[in-house]
Structure 1
Amino acid sequence: MTFDSILFRDGRAADTIDGASEPEFFGDLNLDQIIDSVVHGRDEYNLKPFFYVALTDIDSISYRQEVMRDLERDEIVTVINTFAAQMRAMRAELGVAAKLYFRWQKRRYFLDGVRTYCAAIVAFARDLEAAAPRSSGLLAFMEYLKAYANGPEFLAIKEEEARIRDALAQIRYSVLIKGNAVTVRKYAGEIDYSEDVQKTFEKFKQGKVKSHSTEIRDYPEMGHVEANVLDFVARLHPEAFGPLDEFCNAHAGFIDPVVERFDREVQFYVAYLEHISRLKGVGLSFCYPEVLDVSKAIRSMDGFDLALAEKLRREDARIVCNDFYLEGDERIIVVTGPNQGGKTTFSRTFGQLHYLAAIGWPVPGREARLFLFDQIFTHFERQEDMKNLRGKLHDDLYRIHRILGRATTRSIIIMNEIFSSTSLKDALYLSQKVMGRIMELDALGVYVTFIEELSCLSAQTVSMLSEVQHDAISSRTFRVLRRPADGRSYALSLARQYRLTYDQLTERIGS
């Protein structure tokens, strides 16, 4: 029975995953913050590289979604978590063995690690089958695990470890201490008088007495006297210590590489499910998106920024959800509206949803239909960098030219408040050129801007507007709605706030 990876249908992809680096757009979309929150407390697994590689075909995404659905079942995830705890215990024992100095103590900790591993494998194979997984990934691994647990190599290690442990448990020896001399010899049936002494002096005990017992701390590291005693015991019992030495040398790499890979990779799913369970607990929805590889008729209902949602959850604040959709020839969502109204958050949500879908995860929202991209490109405003000797506008143009030179018809492009350092006339001219190129590519994108004319540039553009309550400009709803840009309503709200409407001015002049 063969099995490669619980993350990839093709195990060759898993072999190269550790060479992956963080994509350029992670910082702009706050995906780096999301990943940090998800993997918190799981440093030993080195999970971050798994998040840096998006999948490129729908079958691979379906493979992960099936596994994720399995792991949402309590009986499955409980088995996985129990196995993970046992594997952590094994690694702890092997870690101690690696740090210790004295030979036989190192050997014993290694033997303990093997025992923990063997017990974990046996229990995992039994319990996983009883939990009855349904996904093709977990079913394939379960069959591999059963074959491995019943295979001759594993059974031989398990039985040999048990024999050595039993042999060591039978050893009895005596230690004679006289002055500075310590003598170790085989146990010769000497009588243990400690219980008799206790009984003899029990009758002299009067009331509660002060204890003079001293706590002996159990440090993992042995002292040199203890180590020498153990060396003498090993010489007296070569029939037990000899096989122990041979066993440790012969089975230094006893962990099955497929099981070891599974133990690491499955945390990719478990960590995310634990993360979103906290958000589900405050009423937020997640769904398995339909992923499109031809049509660009995308849709999201009640989507939200996952990084912001976690921040607000910790602050016990409410997250605002938004909808979007594109149909027909529509490709670019142009978002306008007042500052601090949720425009940038909306653009991040758009990118996050597509990326999370492309790594096989459930995405924020009640419903989602998303496009399988080849690349994501982002351009968010940055402070001027004096080191590159380029001005703000020059740097914007340089970065945009680089994006448009690499983008394809399958790319997603997210532009956020570009050309803010130039005049309105120049910003409009440059933005029209940039959007024209994106429309030529027929690429999907979000364009956040203060220039309302861009929202009706062509049939490929869709206007969405961040909503403001008309009675108080300081009150943002953070809702981004699909409707024509109307800067006049925003101006009217400003005028009302500062009592500058026609009626208010007339009233003030008249009084």
Structure 2
Amino acid sequence: MQTTSRGFEALCEYLRAYTESDRFTSLASETQALEEDLAEIRYSVHIRGDRVRVGEYGGEADYSAEVEKTFAKFRQGTVKDYRVRFSDPPDMDHVEARILDLVARLHPEVFDALDVYHERHRDYLDGVIGAFDREVQFYLAYLEYIKRFEGAGLTFCYPQVSDESKEVRAEEAFDLALADKLVLEGSTVVCNDFYLKDPERIFVVTGPNQGGKTTFARMFGQLHYLASLGLPVPARRARLFLPDRIFTHFEREEDLGTLRGKLEDELVRIHDILKQTTSDSILVVNEIFTSTTLEDALVLGAAVMKRIAALDVPCVYVTFVDELASFGESTVSMVGTVVPDNPTLRTYKVVRKPADGLAYAAALAEKYGLTYNALRKRVAR
């Protein structure tokens, strides 16, 4: 079989060298010789009541063949098989183990050689081959897993990857975790596109609640994580950055054991993340500083954004603070959109456009008769 994969080519070369090594050839020859010796062992088992006796085989008749011969004359064409099938577990039961012990006593030279063989080759499994055997099971399981999505019309691709260029893009990408749930329900999965061009590095995602912002952030992290594992990613086409690490900051419930409030906990967590982040990392920050005032959230958010921009890392920053969407040349504004004629309905599409939280609020107020002019008319009555 021909392969163009550098990984598989390296594995084939390693296996070729391994099978030609003295270690493997001696193991193979010893194994074959021992198997032949064990295959030559013959013994008889005498069962009487609850007693089992094991002895040397003396040419006794094979009663199973005699029984089959006796009942062969009753066979009349194809009939229903009424025989009970017993399970054959891989481990021996206590009776079988005791019989084997007695057989070993009858043929000590062969079983002594088996003990020596076991001790000599206790660590027979090569480390590289063992690691490949474990890890390939994961990759095969993943390929089997994504078939359910492909059946629903969703596409996967092997992305172009780079550990230098931070210009990333994806077409028709989706959040794998959400898609798993929606496909089982028979619901539609909304896909999104994105791209970053130098000097762009940070997606600032704003828009209405429950509009797909967090899903977009998760999707961005998933794409880069799956790509770093060498797996097909949930997108039609993608070009992604290979990071040294992926850091995420998502909202958590307050932990009474830390004796910290929510704001303090968020500050401690984002401080620790930024301290570990390098210019080769990926960062996903979702809805930070929601427990404080808009003014404080703007000040704190600007400080965090300044640090992220200085690190020059690809980042998704989900926020309710529209002002952060125009922080600088490294930021790109992405907005979760709504149906134009009915702003209460989400499209779950996240697109590149200026933050328009106030416009969205004004549309809602207009829809429900809560604008300034509408309220004045109602009060005047």
TM-score bracket for the superposition, by shorter chain length: 0.7 to 0.9
- 2:88 pairs with 1:221: no
Amino acid at match of 1:252: R
Match of 1:262 among 132, 135, 139: 132
Amino acid at match of 2:174: F
Distance 2:339 2:373 in 1: 19
Map of 2:201 onto structure 1: 331
Q: How far is 1:400 from its partner?
A: 2.9
Asked if the contact 2:344/2:364 (under 8 Å) is kept, the reply is no
- CA change 1:180–1:337 in 2 (3 A) is closer
Instruction: List aligned pairs for 1:63-462, cutoff 5 A.
Output: 131-174=1-44, 184-191=54-61, 220-223=91-94, 230-238=100-108, 240-462=110-332
Q: How far is 1:229 from its partner?
A: 5.3
Map of 2:336 onto structure 1: 466
Map of 1:475 onto structure 2: 345
- CA change 1:426–1:506 in 2 (3 A) is closer
Distance 1:200 1:187 in 2: 24
Asked if the contact 1:471/1:493 (under 8 Å) is kept, the reply is no
Q: How far is 1:389 from its partner?
A: 2.5
% same residue: 54
- CA change 1:239–1:377 in 2 (3 A) is closer
Distance 1:245 1:395 in 2: 59
Q: Deviations over 1:70-96 (max 9, x none)?
A: xxxxxxxxxxxxxxxxxxxxxxxxxxx
Amino acid at match of 1:285: T
Amino acid at match of 1:254: Y
Q: Deviations over 1:84-129 (max 9, x none)?
A: xxxxxxxxxxxxxxxxxxxxxxxxxxxxxxxxxxxxxxxxxxxxxx
Amino acid at match of 1:346: F
Distance 1:317 1:497 in 2: 28
Map of 1:30 onto structure 2: none
Q: Deviations over 1:219-246 (max 9, x none)?
A: 743445x666555544444454444344
Q: How far is 1:370 from its partner?
A: 2.2
Q: How far is 1:480 from its partner?
A: 0.4
Amino acid at match of 1:370: L
Distance 1:366 1:335 in 2: 22
Q: How far is 1:337 from its partner?
A: 0.9
Amino acid at match of 2:150: K
Q: Which deviates more from structure 2 when the two are superposed, residues 387-396 or residues 405-414?
A: 405-414
Amino acid at match of 1:221: M
Q: Which deviates more from structure 2 when the two are superposed, residues 498-507 or residues 153-162?
A: 498-507
Q: Deviations over 1:33-61 (max 9, x none)?
A: xxxxxxxxxxxxxxxxxxxxxxxxxxxxx
Amino acid at match of 1:430: L
Q: Deviations over 1:320-376 (max 9, x none)?
A: 111111223222221111100001111121222222223333322122222333443
Q: How far is 1:307 from its partner?
A: 1.8
- CA change 1:254–1:506 in 2 (3 A) is same
Amino acid at match of 1:345: T
Map of 1:83 onto structure 2: none
Distance 2:67 2:277 in 1: 87
Q: Secondary structure at the match of 2:219?
A: helix
Distance 1:447 1:180 in 2: 74
Distance 2:353 2:98 in 1: 83
Q: Which deviates more from structure 2 when the two are superposed, residues 184-193 or residues 335-344?
A: 184-193
Asked if the contact 1:470/1:493 (under 8 Å) is kept, the reply is no
Map of 2:361 onto structure 1: 491
Instruction: List aligned pairs for 1:13-52, cutoff 5 A.
Output: none
Asked if the contact 1:469/1:476 (under 8 Å) is kept, the reply is yes
Q: Secondary structure at the match of 2:146?
A: helix
Distance 1:493 1:149 in 2: 72
Return the structure number with greater helix share. Answer: 1
